Chain A
């Protein structure tokens, strides 16, 4: 196995970490208008991911940085090619991040409403667009001989990629509902569990269709294992949500996301960015950095990743208790009118 293959796998691992972890963050944000009936509900929801969303998002930054370091050509072609889609994702992530931190800082209903909108839009947009982006990556895009993207933004909105967008949106929504059922108690827990049950069925149908389409049209034989794993996990998710086994349901939705990432990266390989004309495709070989750089980066990743997993895991342990309305202080933040004198 070449070092560039190792890094292809590592980048798949980073995306897996990102989508599994930030997936439920997105889901919680997407569900704020659905499950958050009053201010206390909403604050319970947001606080379930409060301590972890920022650390979860770093998986994306690491995936981006690792792609730049290990596959500069891939980074350059993909980020300039998917320009407008990435722009929308960036704008969404920005408003979502400040919404987390700023929403509760002023005790005013109109203030909170604005940041609710930022949080909801900031969660839905990337949840859909990551799926669209991965769909296009698998399907292949218009690259010229210099690996420059020559298609348009409209080309990215094809039926296959849009189904990919629906898949990620549904799977994150359900993943988030399962997470909320696992991390809260009382009324909101039951409503989240009910919603997860319905979401699981919808995800099974849509994600199943996307997986089979990917498998049949764009993939290779061995990824049937990943497709089967994802499908089995989704069936397990339907069963577990019905039985209200919240821990198992969370494992099932996480495994389904892992299976989906393996399927996507498995069908890309040995390309990293397939072109519609296969001669122009960016591959693990022609897009990668030198062996020297890859060796350095392998050492860095091998040394640091265990620590990251350990302290991030510890965070989840520290905040393992279910949150309820009792944990939410009656007021958050200052009032704008509150005079200083």
Chain B
């Protein structure tokens, strides 16, 4: 492997890893804020317990998301310096805005929330977690603005003299239609992730509490949390599907190669079907060696154009078109094995968890609780599903863009000359050995951290709300000389 392949592996590993933790943070911080709001408004201590219980899980997760996020901002310069030189004028702006507008709020008010228990007035303390929740979602907007520009460059011209992409319209970059579809899709996926997380853990605890004979806790604490989580899952599941459908239609116009690769469609056809299962060698990119077992007629056409009979071009045809436009001697087709399966896994796992939510809500209808072991196990097993769906979604959209790092905008009045192949973006002054060193270092460290993160999350989830003490040392607090000077309840 050369420096290019290693740099790509490093970007893939560090980014997919980072995005294990990020959707949970994005979705769970508003859910914790909602729980705390219910407590502040009703004074109902059950919701305080739930706030602290899920709040601690949020903090364990937040830390690793922040830590792995720093790498993301630095590695563009380290591994992709030629890319950075080419796009910095337009790509750097949303990154800087993300830090200024979102990261500062997120980090500062999270600190205030952790250390502000018993020190800040209740409503101000509640405002802190809401600001964290808003800022995490805002940061997603800016980073998706940067990514959407790579999928569909707008607001930019190519300067022949400097050989750089130069921004001419920040408004166009921040209202890129690709971004307007990607943002709700990503946010809905994050809420699906967090909803499943809350519902899964609470379902497990509801069953457990009932079996211990503690029906009050099962009914009054965990059941409401299961309902909150599953309702969030259902609503966000619909949101993911609708925004994803919009994205597919945009993709058909903007990145037709990616759309056709999602189906591994070699030869164009009217009324292209959506195959659920295909066997054979997709990875050969040669198209002849596969046979489809199950297919839904016309569905790919419908996804792409909203019409079951529409024409969807094949990758071979698109390859020829790309050669005419961008030069011969380059394989413009992404890895079809990866795009085909990641697309299916994304959809299947995403819709699957939303369907589970519907079933669970029905099962718990009209105030029912359950002590069935399978319900608890299913809840826990559901938790990783949306994480995986999100990972496959990113793998699809990033691998499907290959061989481009900045995909060409196909609109003839669009952005001429603003495109870059991934192979051209890699740092030329960094050796393969150096990239290998950092790839190994990050992978090992990330592996260790994943184990610790998992143990901590599991341990805190298994503690339940009972151990989320309302007040760890009431005597000391009562003896404190002044208001808000007692022991720190949520401290390090």
Contacts and interface: CB of A to CB of B under 8 A. Distances in A.
Interface of A: 43, 46-47, 50-55, 57-58, 60-62, 64-73, 75-81, 83-84, 86-87, 90-91, 93-95, 97-98, 100-106, 148-150, 289-290, 292-293, 296-297, 300-301, 304-305, 308, 311-312, 315, 318-319, 321, 326-332, 334, 336, 338, 340-341
Interface string B73-105: 110111101101101111111011111110111
Contacts of B76: 68, 75, 79
Most buried by A among B81, B114, B452: B81
Nearest to B481: A326
30 contacts: A50-B114, A51-B116, A52-B108, A64-B73, A64-B99, A65-B98, A65-B100, A68-B76, A69-B93, A69-B95, A72-B84, A72-B164, A75-B84, A79-B76, A80-B427, A80-B429, A83-B438, A91-B442, A100-B63, A100-B492, A101-B60, A293-B89, A293-B90, A301-B100, A315-B111, A315-B112, A318-B116, A328-B491, A329-B476, A334-B463
B104 A58 contact: yes
A58 B103 contact: yes
Contact of B445 (A62, A94, A102, A332): A94
B467 interface: yes
Q: Specify the main secondary structure of chain B where it touches its partner.
A: helix
Nearest to A47: B491
A57 B492 contact: no
A72 B60 CA distance: 34
A340 B472 CA distance: 19
A304 B63 contact: no
A19 B111 CA distance: 19
Closest 6 CB pairs of A and B: A72-B88, A79-B77, A69-B92, A101-B63, A68-B92, A65-B96
Contacts of A43: 491-492
B70 interface: yes
B100 A76 contact: no
Residue of B79, B119, B491 most packed against chain A (CB within 10 A): B491
Contacts, number: 261
Contacts of A67: 92
Contact of B71 (A78, A90, A106): A90
Contact of B167 (A70, A292, A319): A292
A60 B452 CA distance: 26
Contacts of B438: 83-84, 87
A97 B78 contact: no
A75 B488 CA distance: 41
B99 A62 contact: yes
Contacts of B488: 47, 327-329
A340 to B, nearest CB: 5
Contacts of A76: 77, 81-82, 84-85, 88, 427
Contact of A321 (B84, B428, B485): B485
| Central interface residue in A78, A79, A296, by most chain B CB within 10 Å | A79
A131 B393 CA distance: 41
A305 B105 CA distance: 11
B456 to A, nearest CB: 6
B96 A80 contact: no
Contacts of A106: 456, 459
Contact of B99 (A61, A98, A340): A61
Contacts of A65: 73, 92, 95-100
B111 A52 contact: yes
